[in-house]
Amino acid sequence: MALIVPVALLAVALAVRRPALLVLAAGLAASSLAARADAGMEPPAPREVAGQVTLVGDPEARWGGVEVVARLEGRLVLLVADPPAAETVLARLAGERVRVEGRLGPLPDDASWLRVRHVSGRLTVTDAAPGGEAAAPWRAANHLRRTLADGAAGLGPDRRSLFLGLVLGDDREQSPEVTDDFRGSGLSHLLAVSGQNVAFVLAVAAPVLRRAGPGTRVVLVVVLLALFATVTRFEPSVLRAVAMAGAALVATTRGRPTTGVHLLALAVTGLVLVDPFLVRSTGFRLSVAATAGIVVLGPRLLAALPLPPALGLPVAVTASAQLGVAPLLVGTFGGVPVASLPANVLAAPAAALVMTWGLPAGVVAGLVPSIAGPAHVPTAVALDWVAGVARRASSVPLGELGWPHLAALGAAVGLAVLAGGARRSRRLLGAVACAVALGALVAPGLALTRPPVHAAPVAGVEVWRAGGATVVVVAPGTGPADTLEGLRLAGVTRLDVLVLGPGSGAGDEERAARHRLAPGRVLWLGRDPPGAVRLGGLVVVATDEAACVAPASAAPCTPPVDED
């Protein structure tokens, strides 16, 4: 009944041709559909389950088991399987079916983020066996994914994981080191399929599309977009790009080309009406914000930048996209890497080559393994370049932009746009804009050159610096991802002593630290003899289970003691 009002209002808006009424009708419809979707998220009652599930995503290995979203009796659940059932589930892909036995119950309290994906329960599987065949579209998509993965086997583990991330958005095989390199350089979006991937796919298919007639071309584009969306698992950013491409196709076919802003508005409106929960998706919001930045700010920045078009275009597109997503990144993740602008300008052409060359070459390599090596030579070179840019950009201590820096950059962009339209004061406004922007970009790095004696950039990582010495203490169970993030956020460029352990994960933490720096000494608690180490202006006091650090000028410290 709640939809009657917006539907009636929509009919009136179309009859009297009032855009404002149409917008109001769309808003009311989205609100009603969101309430209906939220009402269907009631957690299931705990019970035993024996039946067939359909995987909605691709299984991921987590903490010795496997996790994947699956559809059970019309409900989406988080399927969790431990060995030996995990092996059966891990061998499947999205759309494929598995027969399971286990227990269904509500989601844990810390898994509320799954509600964005309409997941309302948790299925703990104790036994699993292969089920029925997937539907035809999923079979085709999975065959393509497996062909690309097989063709990339000769690239090696690191290159292969990057290739699958850039082409398919599959990050399941990426190491914590690679993930942090791309996060610290602002290149993480390259590993999540987005609008540029859709553009690259259409570019690859352009020779065929140009030879087709208008009607055939429309059909081919629709089939191609649907297949790509299925292959990439209908990621929110892909849905946004596919919806925009579809809207552009309809407008062009009707002889009524429209602007990028209108296409974005149509795509977002249509998608939110279909799935209101998309407004809670971080990936969707980032995709929309980046696209809005490009279509709104991109042309203005290009006109304002005193650069040749060959260089000005990538800089303007990258800068406008970064400005578009910056408020979301600061609000969600705490900051925007200063290195992201130059890193994106340097890495984007190679990432485009991976997509435009690597996608067709990967298919050929998967079908004809004997030529996989030669076919992927350009792919390997491009992957090495992208990985190198990410690693070096994330290692440079330039810091991250916060709210004050974004405010300054926003003012600089406004001045640059004014300068582009001014006549008499163009040079003055341009010079002021450059000075303000440069100051905002340099400030985070300058702050890292004057670090405090003690800092805890992330939970489990402590950084001590005094007298030219740097000591990093990693608490047991911190993990390689947080270790790398802590070193990066603190701007550590020299590591004299790394304190680890005790614990089975200390080896992974040491490997992660060595990926970023070369420690002068690694002190393993529980393995090395207890004692004190003096280095520069710091003193490290260690026991078998804990360690403490203090400036040499202060009173000696005592390692904490656990009290049961």
DSSP 213: -
DSSP 561: -
Band of pLDDT at residue 424, cut at 50, 70 and 90? low
Tell me the longest C-alpha to C-alpha distance in the chain: 84
Q: Are strands 75-81 and 119-130 parallel, antiparallel or unpaired?
A: parallel
Which residues, in sequence order, are CB contacts of 507 under 8 Å at separation 6+? Answer: none
Helix, strand, or coil here: 382?
Answer: helix
Write the single-letter amino acid at 479.
G
Using CA atoms, how far residue 141 sits from 30, 224, 230, 442, in Å, is 31, 11, 6, 46
Q: What pLDDT does residue 204 have?
A: 81
**Residues β-bridged to residue 77:** 70, 121
Report the distance separating Cα 365 and Cα 373, nearest Å: 8
Report the distance separating Cα 562 and Cα 549, nearest Å: 17
Using CA atoms, how far residue 53 sits from 84, 176, 199, 546, in Å, is 18, 31, 34, 47
pLDDT at 445 over 80: yes
Report the distance separating Cα 157 and Cα 143, nearest Å: 21
Q: What pLDDT does residue 428 have?
A: 81
Band of pLDDT at residue 291, cut at 50, 70 and 90? very high
Band of pLDDT at residue 203, cut at 50, 70 and 90? confident
Q: What pLDDT does residue 97 have?
A: 96
The reported pTM is 0.89
| Residue % of the chain over a pLDDT of 90 | 57
Helix, strand, or coil here: 400?
Answer: strand
Band of pLDDT at residue 128, cut at 50, 70 and 90? very high
Which residues, in sequence order, are CB contacts of 78 under 8 Å at separation 6+? Answer: 67, 68, 69, 70, 107, 111, 114, 119, 121, 122, 123
Beta strands in 501-546 (DSSP E): 521-524, 531-535, 538-542
Kindly write down the DSSP assignment for every residue of 93-131, as one continuous string: -TT-EEEEEEEEEEPPGGGGGGGGGTEEEEEEEEEEEE-
Instruction: Estimate the share of the chain in helix, then strand, then coil, as percent rounded to the nearest 5.
Output: 60, 15, 25
Half-sphere exposure of 197 (CA within 13 A, CB side): 31
Q: What pLDDT does residue 32 have?
A: 82
Say how many Å lie between the first and final Cα of the chain, rounded: 59
DSSP 70: E
Q: What pLDDT does residue 504 have?
A: 67
Which tens digits make up the pLDDT trace of 169-180?
A: 898 889 999 999
Strand order in the sheet with 469-474: 454-458, 461-466, 469-474, 497-500, 521-524
Q: Considering only 155-164, 441-450, 548-557, which range has the smallest mean pLDDT?
A: 548-557
Using CA atoms, how far residue 370 sits from 143, 147, 365, in Å, is 19, 14, 8
Rg (CA), the chain: 27
564's tokens: 């049961």
Q: Considering only 15-19, 475-479, 525-529, 535-539, which range has the smallest mean pLDDT?
A: 15-19
DSSP 530: P
Which tens digits make up the pLDDT trace of 392-421?
A: 999 999 999 999 999 998 888 888 777 766
Report the distance separating Cα 83 and Cα 535, nearest Å: 47
Do the beta carbons of residue 85 and residue 123 sit within 8 Å?
no
pLDDT at 1 over 50: no
Helix, strand, or coil here: 397?
Answer: coil
Report the distance separating Cα 277 and Cα 506, nearest Å: 39
Which tens digits make up the pLDDT trace of 73-94?
A: 989 999 999 999 999 999 999 9
Helix, strand, or coil here: 516?
Answer: helix
CA 560 from centre of chain: 38
Do the beta carbons of residue 478 and residue 460 sit within 8 Å?
yes
- Closest alpha carbon to 456 in 495, 499, 485, 479: 485
Q: What pLDDT does residue 410 have?
A: 86
